[in-house]
């Protein structure tokens, strides 16, 4: 038997609502944006304090010649060395704490953010020792003194976290670089040439204290990736230990809050020991460049990464492509910032080699709007409205600090504004294409009329949230509204 149907129903086809497609024009300009780019270097000493000057800080947001450089930069970041001379055996005086507080206030007034590092000495003493140019005693402080100082600094760091982009671990060793140290295991040829279990444990204790001194939404950078591995997994952790996974990233855990500063970027094959295995009580020091670089490339995607160049001898590797691999290394290792004051024997080569403009644009994040899709039909007040944006992050990294993502609707008639929180997390707008699909429920209090649309990425801290200097600017022509920090989407919404 053959069954037959008298009538075949036609399927119902989904027809999406009509939408306006807006194509945006990319900008090639160098932009000053929060928490990325070339930083300005500054240092002050407890025994001869030189306070930051607000007008100088403000000038750094404009194109100013780099110190010792053949190029100019616009900076939203200031590195601040706090050198605690003569305080390696006594508490920090209240007068010093007040001066540090004033520095943070100046940074806030100027619209910048700080990368602070505390250390006890930046002056190597030459002598008759294996290293020659630097000999012990180095002059850093004991564990007990360091922990006391961190406790004293904690209220200051918490209070000023709004203008701290990230904090470098510091405290241990000359320059706060955790290498030449009197108290935490001297891994140089002046000392034991490796680190033992007790050295890793006491370093982890300092790192834990520094993490605790900051709010959970701020990161701490370590000088060597192996310190993070052995902090997270213990003193026997191999250099093949797992990097941070995306599911763990941006969760506020200690593992998610430890980034890296490399103060000898592209200075040698292992960046002067940055990628060494420093051993422990049961294993000797060993080379581990390829393994630790792979670890860093994976881990760095989700944390704050920066540093400085330090030696021009590693050439052509530290030059522009195609002879060198400077930009490739920055992109692979997700660099958000570099020093514009050191070492300009290297940085000047980037200007001469023709890649400096690209590096200035791409350090950290660079968000370029490509297209926007906006429904044409009017919407009733109090009902749902959805839209889609296509962007490209052309930078080497994504933002490492949390910030809101908002849609602003402004009435063309009255100028009244309505702000809507969006669900996207800009920290996950990684290098490459970014798709933003968002929906809001319009306010029932919106009057009928036409509204202009803006994308707004302000700082999360209420103290500076309304400051346009702290909002992210998209890399497009004719989108930035300087007085508000909004990005114009060139789209409108009609409320019925």
Given a cut of 70, whether residue 8 has pLDDT beyond it is no
- Same domain? 316 vs 371: no
- Same domain? 175 vs 132: yes
- Read off the CATH number of the domain in which 435 is found: 2.60.40.1930
| 13 domain-assigned | no
- Same domain? 315 vs 432: no
How large is the average pLDDT for residues 339-352? 98
Instruction: Determine the pLDDT at residue 443.
Output: 97
User: Residue 261: enclosing H or E segment and its boundaries?
Assistant: strand 258-262
Residues 192, 182: Cα–Cα separation, whole Å: 12
- Same domain? 457 vs 419: yes
Q: Is the Cβ–Cβ distance between 453 and 409 less than 8 Å?
A: yes
- Same domain? 50 vs 161: yes
Residues in the chain: 496
Instruction: Determine the pLDDT at residue 9.
Output: 57
pLDDT of 137-146, one tens digit each?
999 999 999 9
What is the CA angle 3-4-5, rounded to 5? 135
pLDDT of 483-492, one tens digit each?
999 999 999 9
- Same domain? 355 vs 397: no
User: What is the extent of the structural domain holding 451?
Assistant: 18-28+367-495
- Read off the CATH number of the domain in which 163 is found: 3.20.20
Instruction: Determine the pLDDT at residue 12.
Output: 57
Q: Is the Cβ–Cβ distance between 203 and 172 less than 8 Å?
A: yes
pLDDT of 98-140, one tens digit each?
999 999 999 999 999 999 999 999 999 999 999 999 999 999 9
Name the domain count of the chain. 2
| 445 domain-assigned | yes
Instruction: Burial-class residue 482 by CB neighbours within 10 Å (0-12, 13-18, 19+).
Output: exposed
Query: Which residue's entry shows tokens 């990097």?
Result: 243
- Same domain? 209 vs 234: yes
| 195 domain-assigned | yes
Mean of the per-residue pLDDT values of the chain = 96
Q: Is the Cβ–Cβ distance between 308 and 342 less than 8 Å?
A: yes
Can you say how many angstroms the Cα of residue 478 is from the centroid of all Cα atoms in its chain?
Answer: 26
Instruction: Determine the pLDDT at residue 19.
Output: 72
pLDDT of 382-435, one tens digit each?
999 999 999 999 999 999 999 999 999 999 999 999 999 999 999 999 999 999
Instruction: Determine the pLDDT at residue 10.
Output: 56
């Amino acid at each position: 038997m053959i069954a037959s149907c008298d009538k075949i129903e036609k399927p119902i086809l989904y027809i999406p609502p009509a939408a306006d497609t807006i194509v945006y024009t990319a900008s090639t300009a160098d932009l000053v944006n929060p928490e990325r780019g070339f930083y300005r270097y500054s240092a002050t000493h407890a025994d001869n304090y030189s306070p930051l000057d607000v007008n100088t800080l403000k000038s750094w947001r404009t194109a100013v010649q780099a110190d010792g450089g053949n190029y100019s930069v616009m900076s939203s970041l200031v590195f601040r060395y706090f050198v605690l001379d003569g305080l390696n055996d006594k508490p920090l005086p209240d007068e010093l704490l007040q001066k540090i507080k004033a520095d943070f206030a100046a940074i806030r007034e100027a619209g910048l953010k700080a990368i602070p590092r505390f250390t006890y000495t930046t002056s190597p003493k030459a002598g008759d020792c294996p290293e020659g140019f630097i000999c012990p005693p180095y002059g850093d402080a004991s564990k007990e003194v360091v922990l006391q100082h961190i406790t004293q600094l904690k209220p200051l760091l918490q209070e000023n976290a709004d203008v701290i982009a990230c904090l470098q671990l510091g405290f241990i060793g000359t320059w706060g670089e955790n290498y030449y140290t009197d108290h935490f295991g001297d891994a140089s040829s002046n000392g034991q040439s490796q680190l033992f279990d007790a050295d890793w444990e006491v370093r982890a204790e300092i790192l834990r204290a520094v993490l605790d001194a900051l709010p959970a939404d701020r990161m701490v950078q370590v000088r060597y990736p192996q310190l993070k591995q052995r902090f997270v997994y213990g003193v026997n952790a191999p250099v093949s230990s797992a990097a941070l996974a995306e599911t763990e990233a941006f969760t506020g855990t200690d593992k998610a809050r430890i980034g890296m500063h490399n103060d000898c970027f592209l200075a040698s094959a292992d960046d002067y020991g940055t990628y060494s295995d420093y051993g422990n009580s049961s294993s000797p020091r060993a080379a581990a460049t390829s393994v630790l670089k792979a670890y860093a490339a994976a881990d760095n995607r989700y944390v704050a990464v920066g540093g400085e160049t330090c030696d021009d001898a590693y050439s052509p590797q530290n030059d522009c492509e195609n002879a060198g691999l400077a930009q490739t290394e920055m992109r692979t290792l997700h660099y958000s910032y570099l020093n514009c004051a050191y070492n300009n024997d290297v940085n000047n080569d980037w200007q001469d080699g023709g890649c400096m403009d690209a590096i200035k644009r791409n350090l950290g994040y660079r968000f370029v709007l490509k297209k926007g899709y906006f429904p044409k039909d009017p919407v009733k007040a109090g009902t749902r409205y959805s839209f889609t944006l296509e962007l490209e992050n052309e930078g080497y990294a994504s933002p490492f600090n949390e910030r809101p993502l908002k849609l602003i609707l402004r009435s063309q008639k009255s100028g009244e504004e309505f702000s809507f929180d969006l669900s996207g997390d800009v920290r996950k707008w990684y290098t490459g294409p970014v798709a933003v699909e968002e929906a809001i429920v319009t306010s029932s209090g919106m009057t009928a009329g036409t509204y202009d649309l803006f994308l707004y990425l302000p700082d999360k801290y209420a103290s500076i949230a309304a400051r346009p200097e702290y909002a992210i600017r998209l890399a497009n022509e004719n989108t930035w509204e300087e007085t508000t920090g909004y990005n114009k989407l060139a789209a409108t919404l009609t409320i019925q």
